[in-house]
């Protein structure tokens, strides 16, 4: 459920609110501050939508209360949307006062963790405000303003439910800069603080913001690779070589390069966005790579708007894993290079010096746990999607055991790469309800080792695991379940396997420190 609260009377019984599904409308007048300082309320709802009306009389006090709320919640896993509506005063001096207060408020809150708050400052049409309603029913708007509120709330609920892209693949010429590098050379391409160059510069700023939120940037371009990186360096562009990963810059067909990039990152086309100015190239890629998404740069002036309007380019909660994603993939790439040179070495896995570390689910890794439940597909036994409240219930319930696990090896720290949930009943059974592992660490015996740890901990119990087979997880898991320590118990929709420890399972110990 989601909650709409405000600093005015919301007229909750008005039928216009009915377009909001699974949303409660606060029935109390000016109740936003109490709601966002109430632990019960904060735990009950998944998102909060705070409608705030500002005028000359209430601006100072209201913004002070909002700042206090943000300070208290900035380190919590709360998604709060602020919708601030400013009444245009007749007196220009009063207008400037309110505007300055809002500006100072924006500067103050920008220092807090941005990933936990999505801030919207909306200007309503003048005729949306109604002084008569404000006086008699404490609702300072025309009744039709509710439709505007609902439209914006629904938009942000779509963001909440949408699945962000993992990978953004970019063209170079007339995409990251204006002009053709091979023809116009480094000094001739359009980029910088010029009339048109500023749009390319701002686009790169936006891409860097996305990268810092955990989106992986890569390049597929028909170009000379040395010239591309040299152009970025020489023109002191916002984006540099270090900001891209696994780029393919050559004269091959773009769809071939894109397929390689996706495959080498163990990702899916459905989680990939391709951005190019050439619509014929886009059509070719779209035809030959099923389920890939694209943005066509038909006019560089419109690109920021297209980025802003794409719900899958927004992240409401950003984990520490997101911020380190490129570093993790670089470590994985070093592993892949090492693997290709040593694949015939019988001591290959032992030489990796792999170490699995288990963690309780807590505030520091809560966002990462949510991601592992809601983003992992290929190695996800249940495909159960948990929201914040459902995950918190599991953590608190003693009949469940939830553990996250991370991987370190000779190349570095891969971060938290998996999670499992066990259910313990009063009988002799332990059931693995969820078992999710990130796609970037497949084929390293990690899955075997986690099963070994669980079976060792509960060696006197019957350990069962259920598999909900779908099109998202029907490739890797069936291969894993062919291991000799799994025995099929039933063939219902959710296949149930019993884990029977044997020499094959015990043998995995030698691959881990």
Per-residue pLDDT of the chain (513 residues; tens, 9 = 90+): 899 999 999 888 888 999 999 999 999 999 999 999 888 888 888 889 999 999 899 999 999 999 888 888 776 777 888 898 888 777 788 888 888 888 888 888 777 655 455 556 666 666 788 889 989 999 999 888 899 899 989 988 988 888 899 999 999 999 999 999 999 999 999 999 999 999 999 999 999 999 998 899 999 999 999 999 999 999 999 999 999 999 999 999 999 999 999 998 888 999 999 999 999 999 999 999 999 999 999 999 999 999 989 999 988 777 777 878 888 888 888 888 888 888 788 889 999 999 999 999 998 899 899 999 998 999 999 999 998 889 999 999 999 999 999 999 999 999 999 999 999 887 889 999 999 999 888 889 999 999 999 999 998 899 999 999 999 999 999 999 999 999 998 877 789 999 999 999 999 999 998
CATH classification number, 2-161, choose in 3.40.1710, 1.10.3470, 3.90.25, 3.40.50: 3.40.50
Angle between helices 366-374 and 388-396 (to 10 degrees): 110
Assess whether the region 2-161 and the region 167-313 belong to the same CATH fold: yes
Q: Which residues contact 493 (CB under 8 A, 6 or more apart)?
A: 468
H or E element that contains 303: helix 303-309
How far apart, in Å, do the first and last CA atoms of the chain sit? 44
List the Cα angle 199/112/52 in 5-degree steps: 85
Angstrom distances, CA of residue 398 to CA of 72, 343, 440: 29, 44, 31
Q: Rounded CA gap, 464 and 498, in Å? A: 5
Q: Rounded CA gap, 233 and 241, in Å? A: 8
Q: Rounded CA gap, 240 and 208, in Å? A: 10
Closest alpha carbon to 163 in 349, 317, 339, 365: 317
CB atoms within 10 A of CB 158: 11
H or E element that contains 432: strand 429-437
pTM: 0.75
pLDDT at 125: 67
Q: Rounded CA gap, 99 and 88, in Å? A: 10
Closest alpha carbon to 294 in 180, 389, 182, 167: 167
pLDDT at 118: 58
What DSSP character marks residue 190? B
Angstrom distances, CA of residue 195 to CA of 27, 162, 200, 202: 51, 35, 10, 12
Q: Give the SS3 label for residue 217.
A: strand
pLDDT at 388: 85
What phi and psi, each to the nearest 5 degrees, are found at residue 254?
Answer: -65, -35
pLDDT at 312: 94
Q: Which residues contact 187 (CB under 8 A, 6 or more apart)?
A: none
Q: Rounded CA gap, 467 and 473, in Å? A: 9
Q: Is 390 exposed, middle or buried (0-12, 13-18, 19+ CB in 10 A)?
A: middle
CB atoms within 10 A of CB 200: 25
Every domain of the chain and the residues it spans: 2-161, 167-313, 344-511
> In terms of CATH, what superfamily is 167-313?
HAD superfamily/HAD-like (3.40.50.1000)
Q: In the sheet where 2-6 sits, what is the strand order?
A: 23-25, 2-6, 47-54, 79-86, 117-122
Closest alpha carbon to 223 in 247, 241, 249, 260: 249
Which tokens is 354 given?
Answer: 């792999």
pLDDT at 191: 97
pLDDT at 115: 46
CA 25 centroid distance within chain: 27
| Polymer length of the chain | 513
CB atoms within 10 A of CB 298: 11
344-511 carries CATH number 3.40.630.30: yes
Token look-up 């709409």 returns: 4
């Amino acid at each position: 459920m989601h909650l709409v609260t405000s600093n005015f009377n919301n007229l909750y019984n008005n039928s216009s609110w009915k377009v909001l599904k699974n949303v409660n409308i606060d029935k109390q007048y000016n109740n936003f501050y109490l709601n966002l300082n109430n632990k019960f309320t904060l735990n009950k709802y998944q998102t909060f939508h705070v409608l705030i009306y500002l005028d000359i009389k209430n601006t100072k006090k209201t913004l002070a209360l909002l700042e206090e709320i943000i300070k208290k919640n900035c380190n919590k896993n709360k998604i709060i949307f602020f919708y601030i509506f400013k009444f245009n005063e007749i007196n220009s001096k009063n207008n400037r006062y309110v505007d300055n207060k809002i500006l100072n408020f924006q500067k103050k809150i920008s220092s807090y963790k941005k990933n936990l708050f999505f801030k919207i400052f909306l200007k309503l049409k003048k005729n949306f405000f109604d002084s008569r309603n404000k006086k008699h029913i404490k609702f300072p708007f025309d009744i039709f303003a509710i439709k505007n509120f609902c439209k914006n709330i629904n938009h942000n609920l779509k963001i909440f439910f949408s699945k962000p892209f993992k990978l953004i693949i970019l063209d170079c010429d007339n995409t990251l800069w204006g002009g053709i590098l091979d023809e116009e050379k480094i000094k001739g391409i359009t980029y910088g603080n010029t009339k048109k160059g500023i749009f390319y510069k701002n686009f790169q700023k936006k891409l860097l913001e996305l990268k810092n939120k955990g989106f992986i940037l890569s390049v597929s371009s028909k170009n000379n690779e040395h010239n591309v990186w040299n152009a970025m360096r020489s023109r002191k562009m916002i984006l540099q070589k270090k900001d891209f990963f696994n780029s393919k810059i050559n004269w091959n067909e773009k769809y071939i390069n894109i397929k390689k990039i996706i495959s080498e990152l163990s990702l899916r086309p459905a989680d990939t966005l391709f951005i190019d100015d050439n619509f014929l190239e886009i059509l070719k890629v779209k035809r030959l790579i099923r389920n890939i998404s694209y943005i066509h740069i038909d006019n560089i002036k419109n690109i920021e708007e297209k980025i802003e309007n794409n719900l899958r380019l927004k992240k409401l909660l950003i984990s520490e894993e997101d911020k380190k994603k490129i570093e993790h993939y670089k470590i994985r790439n070093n592993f892949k290079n090492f693997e290709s040179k040593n694949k015939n070495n019988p001591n290959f896995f032992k030489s990796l010096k792999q170490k699995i570390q288990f963690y309780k689910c807590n505030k520091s890794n809560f966002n990462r746990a949510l991601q592992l439940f809601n983003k992992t597909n290929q190695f996800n036994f249940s495909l159960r999607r948990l929201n914040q409240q459902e995950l918190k219930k599991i953590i608190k319930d003693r009949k469940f055991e939830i553990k996250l696990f991370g991987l370190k090896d000779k190349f570095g720290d891969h971060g938290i790469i998996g999670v499992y949930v066990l259910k313990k009943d009063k009988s002799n059974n332990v059931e693995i309800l969820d078992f999710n592992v990130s796609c970037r660490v497949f084929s390293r015996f990690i899955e075997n080792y986690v099963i070994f740890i669980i079976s060792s901990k509960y060696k006197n119990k019957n350990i069962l695991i259920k598999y909900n087979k779908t099109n998202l997880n029907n490739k890797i898991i069936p291969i894993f379940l062919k291991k000799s320590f799994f025995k099929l118990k039933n063939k219902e929709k959710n296949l149930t396997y019993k884990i029977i420890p044997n020499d094959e399972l015990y043998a995995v110990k030698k691959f881990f420190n």
